[in-house]
Amino acid sequence: MAREFAKVGVVGLGTMGAGIAEVIARTGIDVVAVEVDEEAVDRGRTHIEQSTARAVAKDKLTEDDRAHLLARITYATDLAAVAGADLVVEAIPENVQRKSAIFAELDGIVGQETILASNTSSLSITEIGVHTGRPGKVVGLHFFNPAPVQKLVEVIRTVVTEPDVVTDVVSFAGMLGKEPVVIGDRAGFIANALLFGYLNHAVSMYESRYATREDLDAAMRFGCGYPMGPLALLDLIGLDTAYEILETMYRQSRNRLHAPTPVLKQMITAGLLGRKSGRGFYTYD
């Protein structure tokens, strides 16, 4: 019998975690959202409040539905709050040690049947899963930014993920109104493996002053129908996140396409992280 998803935990309320919590609560499911401290909880809550206000302003949500959505999310700073969840989605920063530690801790908190999922963009689900006593119930559940808007969800299965867990997670993603695709555990999965070589190439063209940032972005928007140019997209993703993804893919594949362009690291060191820091390739209010 298919699993029910009545209560879902979301660990980490950055851009992705907050978006994921919003999508799940929008579907009528109770969400327990966990962050490290009150300040981080407040940032996550504000993100969800602003995003859902935008959805109302754009006629994507009624005021009533927004109120119900917000009421379905409870916030906590203690991981133990996810006890009783049918599924936990982890969305903390891309660090395999930290993610593995969270999974090991979650393993001791939730019931035996609970599925543990990571929203990692490129780290190995297999490597994270072995830190639990239930690697067969560990999957990747990879959303795209902005999570309330982008339809794709990648479901990543490892060599030990139980087939019915994959089936149930795929139908869960469908319940959320998403388009799920299933893929094995290889850095970058499908979309990032294809996307990041292109983004990295754009940075290298920018670095060599081959064209201005505006012209690089305009070319892909107006010539290829992309909703955003590559540099604007990198600002949305976050330069630090993009760098981590490229590094992980490069380490695994040794494909030079994915060797991070040096200026990326320099921009990160200088604090230019994209939209979230107010400045990346472009400047934001």
Binding region for ligand CAA (CB under 6 A): 51-52, 54-55, 58, 60, 121, 144-146, 148-150, 192, 227-228, 233, 237, 241
Question: DSSP character for 100?
Answer: H
Active site residue 121: yes
If the CB atoms of residues 126 and 192 are measured against ligand CAA, the closer one turns out to be: 192
If the CB atoms of residues 54 and 276 are measured against ligand CAA, the closer one turns out to be: 54
If the CB atoms of residues 110 and 176 are measured against ligand CAA, the closer one turns out to be: 176
Cβ atoms of 168 and 116 within 8 Å: the answer is: no
Please state the closest distance from residue 271 (CB atom) to ligand CAA, in A: 20
The whole-angstrom separation of Cα 239 and Cα 272 is 8
Q: How far is CA 96 from CA 118, 248, 268, in A?
A: 11, 11, 20
The whole-angstrom separation of Cα 99 and Cα 25 is 23
Q: How far is CA 35 from CA 13, 75, 77, 98, 103, in A?
A: 6, 8, 5, 14, 15
Active site residue 68: no
Output the six-digit token pair for 97.
């040690």
Selecting among 192, 200, 247, 258, the annotated active-site residue is 192
Closest CA to 239 of 205, 208, 282: 282
Please state the closest distance from residue 12 (CB atom) to ligand CAA, in A: 14
- 271, exposed or middle or buried, with CB in 10 Å at 0-12, 13-18, 19+? exposed
Q: For residues 248, 250, 252 and 254, what is the CA-based torsion angle, rounded to 10 degrees?
A: -170
Selecting among 118, 119, 121, 122, the annotated active-site residue is 121
Please state the closest distance from residue 185 (CB atom) to ligand CAA, in A: 15
Selecting among 90, 94, 154, 244, the annotated active-site residue is 154
The whole-angstrom separation of Cα 215 and Cα 241 is 24
Q: Are strands 152-157 and 138-143 parallel, antiparallel or unpaired?
A: antiparallel
Please state the closest distance from residue 20 (CB atom) to ligand CAA, in A: 12
Active site residue 154: yes
If the CB atoms of residues 77 and 255 are measured against ligand CAA, the closer one turns out to be: 255
Output the six-digit token pair for 82.
């996810």
If the CB atoms of residues 56 and 130 are measured against ligand CAA, the closer one turns out to be: 56
Output the six-digit token pair for 251.
């380490």
Tokens 């379905």 sit on residue: 72
Active site residue 100: no
The whole-angstrom separation of Cα 151 and Cα 135 is 27
If the CB atoms of residues 5 and 196 are measured against ligand CAA, the closer one turns out to be: 196
Please state the closest distance from residue 112 (CB atom) to ligand CAA, in A: 30
Which residues are catalytic, by number?
Answer: 121, 142, 154, 192
